[in-house]
Amino acid sequence: MSVSALVLAARRPGVADPLALKAGVSHKCLIEMDGGPMIELVLRSLAGSSHVRDIFISIDDPSALNDIAMIHDGSLGKPVIILPSRENLFESVKDALLEETRFPIIICTADNALQTDEMIDHFCLHFENSDCDAAVALTPAEVIWAKYPDGQRRPYTFKDGKYSNCNLFGLRNPRSVSAAQAFRGGGQFGKSKSRIFKAFGLINLIMYHYALVTLDDVFARLSRRFRIKVVPIIMPFAEAPIDVDNERTERIAREVLAERRRASVT
């Protein structure tokens, strides 16, 4: 399957990111990681996948990316197009997908510094082999904790296990954009029950809160709510859900990147 890729890199409206402030940059995606802006790691992971044909970046201030050479000089080997973001994640995704030629598309975030082309390939292969309209990447919490005990503190708890969101999604067709409605009020569902309620409804909130449903049950409910088929794609990578969201995960990301660097020269 050949897919477009959309990288969400915008700042939250009216919210100053503490990591960006600490690093002295305007956007979190510009924090230095492994010798360059963090977004470069995400772009390389996408460009390194044979499934990705072109890359779009959604950001509130396109000029913030002016100094990132790989976006402009063609060195990634794939077209990179910058799009101005909108007032929330849903509107940004919707606006990016006004052209049907951009489907199917995968969506990720610019702070997932540990994302690799292997992860992208795994997700795309399973996305291709599913008859779904939309897909969500999840990693079992025990996979994360076995390698990084401090790597995830707020997994989603279901009747049959705990899972963490990898901030990697797939949309196959225009009608699948309805699933992105869940992000109209922002993401970070694990941190806010009110966001789960607004996005998925009271019954689903209650079922989730008391761990009364299995993972498959949850996605069957989501499919009915959005009137499309939404499926989970299980990612066997402990690093996949560890985005740079706070000082703890920034530390973990830097340690993993340093280890990868050492491994690449031995």
pLDDT band at 57 (very low <50, low <70, confident <90, very high): very high
How do residues 73-131 score in pLDDT, each as one tens digit?
999 999 999 999 998 888 898 899 999 999 999 999 999 999 999 999 999 999 999 99
- Structural domains of the chain ordered from first start: 3-264 (3.90.550.10)
194 C-beta neighbours (distance < 10 Å), count: 10
- Is residue 201 over pLDDT 80? no
Q: DSSP E strands: which ranges in the chain?
A: 3-8, 32-33, 36-37, 52-59, 80-84, 105-109, 134-140, 156-158, 161-171, 230-234
* pLDDT computed for residue 71 by the predictor: 97
pLDDT mean across residues, the chain: 88
Q: Is the pTM of this model over 0.75?
A: yes
pLDDT, greater one: 183 or 56: 56
